[in-house]
Chain A
Amino acid sequence: MAETKNDLANRTPRTTSRMKRKDLTGWLIMLPTLLLFAFFVWEPLVESIRLSLYTAKGIRLEKFVGFSNYMKVLKHPDFLAAFSNTFVYILWSLIIGFLVPIIIAVLITETTHFRSFFRVGVYFPNIMPGLATVLMWGFFFRPGNTGVLNILLDKIGVAPQIWLTNPKWTIPLIVLAMTWKGAGSTALIYMAGISNINPELYEAATIDGAGILSRMRYITVPSIFSLGKTLLILQIISVFQIIYEPLVMTNGGPNNASISIMQLVYNYAFRDYNYPMAAALSVMMSIVLIILSGLYFKITASKEN
């Protein structure tokens, strides 16, 4: 109906000009926002590539050097440390960060009393500013007997630990602090997913004699599987970009045991003022992240179909 009306209207010249005016005004209205997107999102990507191909003094470009900044970045010993740490970060965030929200969501969904209190309570850490969280956990992980976790351990008779200064524990503990902050919001997404499961599925399974655990295994788990895949990729994308936790809690230490790729970018740019090298590393990171995001969009798109 509406389309035929439009077609008729388009035939008269007056409305055609009005249509054009609408197009023009529409574009004028969104022009400021488009300029902002260009300045803050699109242009920096191009600028990173350009910057990475030159040498520079401060922010002034000097001469075109091709890919030599990339080679310098890749050959630097810190790169190998940051690169392999990234996989350790991802591994630990799969073990801790991926499962915790699912468990929280499953448990809270089984409650009927206090449910909204539980929801609000687990989400609470998420509103804490990232930097404040990191400084706060620094006090918890402090070695010696005034560290908060050591005070608590002392109450149950365990000797004080050295926490972040043990290179084996640095990354898992950083991931633990990140999970404390992020798990609640992810759990809310899983809760929404679990609540959307058709209750008749559970009824039918019960009639077939399925107990609580087998209902969980054959209905709940498969139903949130695709949601889990999506959130897993989102999590990997965000773990790749981790910066403040190692920067503030350990400064990448002890002995590069927790340095992350983004922290390396930060060091090149804002400690050494070597913007081209920082840009080269950024470009390589962006390529990896864009591939991962493409994967994410593909999975969500296939889910909708």
Chain B
Amino acid sequence: MFFDNYRKKEDGVVRFYDLHSKRTKILLIAIYIICFAIIIVSLFPPVWVFLASFKDIREFRRSATILPSSFDLDTYIKTWGDLKFAKYYINSSISVVGSVVCAVVFNGLIAYVIGILKPKGHKIVFGLVMWSLLIPATTSVVALFVNINRIGLNQSFLPLWLSFGANAFYVILFKQFFEGLPKELIEAAKLDGCGYLKTFARIVLPLSKSIVMVVVIFAINAAWSDFLLPYLVLNGSGKETVMVRLFLFRTSTATDVEVLRAVAFSIIPPIILFTIFQKQITEGAAAGALKG
């Protein structure tokens, strides 16, 4: 029966023995209905984006319906070409790949030094990194932008990539994981004559696949969605990312349907990523936030 597996329920308030009362059963059914309603509210807006972007501009302006009158993929492909989205996808991919590499390499290396090598003064460094969590990224964007201009790195992907190499949150995730690795393996590598960097690349990273995955997934999503710094650095350089292009709609004269399709293009990659890695993402989100 529907309520049978409440025998095993150990969390939350309701237990199996509460279910002899009819009111509790009704309450539970109401809870299921509300939960489904919440899911509909969560999923409906992006679904609407896809449905409405199949309308053409005349239909979009006139008809007040949710469903489009026809599903014509050709118009979609035409907008993709008109807005040159292939170019923005390529630019975003360049930005994402570099950012992910920097996120893993630089934050991984400092976490390896703080968590495993522990040279003199490592505690001070970790204190400084923790302290960085206090500094809100958005308030320093003006000064950062001025600095990037002074050293002539504007209109280049380099500052965007490197900005992912200084992320205190990723450092903490890596450090916690590295500290749990078996010390014997690292000692053994040292006895075999592995240098420190070689130990990191050959022993530590392969043992840490699960945390590397979490950081990679979060970094992909963060780099894809990032827009303020990319907009300031890349605007007008021909290297605009998808998000920069979306931001430009704020002041451009595109039609509603074009904007909608652009939104649809911008959310397809995150949706694919989420569909594949939903387990890692939802678990990483809860665990990371509790520890951090």
* Chain A residues within CB distance 8 Å of chain B: 22-27, 29-30, 32-34, 36-37, 39-45, 47-48, 51, 59, 104, 106-114, 117-132, 135-137, 139-140, 145-146, 148, 150-151, 154, 180, 184-185, 188-189, 191-195, 197, 199, 202, 206, 212, 215-216, 219-220, 237, 240-241, 243-244, 247-248, 251, 262, 265, 269-270, 275, 278-279, 282-283, 285-286, 289-290, 293-294, 297
Contacts and interface: CB of A to CB of B under 8 A. Distances in A.
Contacts of B91: none
Contact of B149 (A59, A110, A145, A206): A59
Given A33-B165, A282-B140, A212 B13 contact: yes
B119 A23 contact: yes
A270 B232 contact: yes
Contacts of A202: 13, 15
Contacts of B17: 206
B190 to A, nearest CB: 10
Main secondary structure of the interface of B (DSSP, over half): helix
Given A137-B45, A154-B64, 5 more contacts: A26-B119, A110-B13, A118-B38, A123-B281, A195-B12
Contact of B142 (A118, A122, A278): A278
Contacts of A37: 128-129, 132, 166, 168
B255 interface: no
Contacts of A111: 31-32, 35
Interface stretch (B68-76, B77-85, B206-214, B282-290): B282-290
Contact of B42 (A30, A121, A192): A121
Contact of A241 (B6, B45, B118, B139): B139
Contact of B274 (A41, A43, A47, A127): A127
Nearest to B114: A30
A111 B133 CA distance: 36
A119 B286 CA distance: 11
Given A135-B259, A188-B286, A289-B139, A32 B109 contact: yes
Contacts of B112: 29
Contacts of B11: 109, 194-195, 197, 199
Give the most central of B2, B45, B249: most A CB within 10 Å.
Answer: B45
30 contacts: A22-B119, A23-B119, A25-B196, A26-B113, A30-B109, A37-B168, A43-B147, A44-B144, A47-B140, A48-B142, A48-B143, A51-B143, A59-B146, A122-B39, A124-B42, A125-B45, A126-B285, A129-B224, A132-B267, A135-B246, A136-B46, A146-B62, A189-B285, A202-B13, A216-B13, A244-B227, A251-B250, A265-B139, A269-B142, A285-B136
A197 B249 CA distance: 48
B235 to A, nearest CB: 10
A137 B46 CA distance: 10
A234 to B, nearest CB: 9
Interface in B221-269: 221, 224-225, 227-228, 232, 243, 246-247, 249-250, 256, 259-260, 263, 266-267
Contacts of A132: 225, 246, 263, 266-267
B179 interface: no
Interface in B85-144: 106-107, 109-110, 112-114, 117-122, 125, 128-129, 132-144
Contacts of B267: 128-129, 132
Nearest to A27: B119
Interface string B10-51: 111111011000001001100110110011011101101100
A243 B247 CA distance: 13
Nearest to A220: B13
A131 to B, nearest CB: 5
Contact of A127 (B9, B147, B165, B221): B221
Interface string B175-202: 0000000000000000000001100100
A180 B44 CA distance: 11
B42 A23 contact: no
Given A111-B35, A121-B42, A146 B60 contact: yes
A22 B117 contact: yes
Given A41-B132, A47-B147, A30 B228 contact: no
Give the most central of A107, A112, A193, A265: most B CB within 10 Å.
Answer: A112
A201 B63 CA distance: 56
B135 A41 contact: yes
Contacts of B49: 136, 139
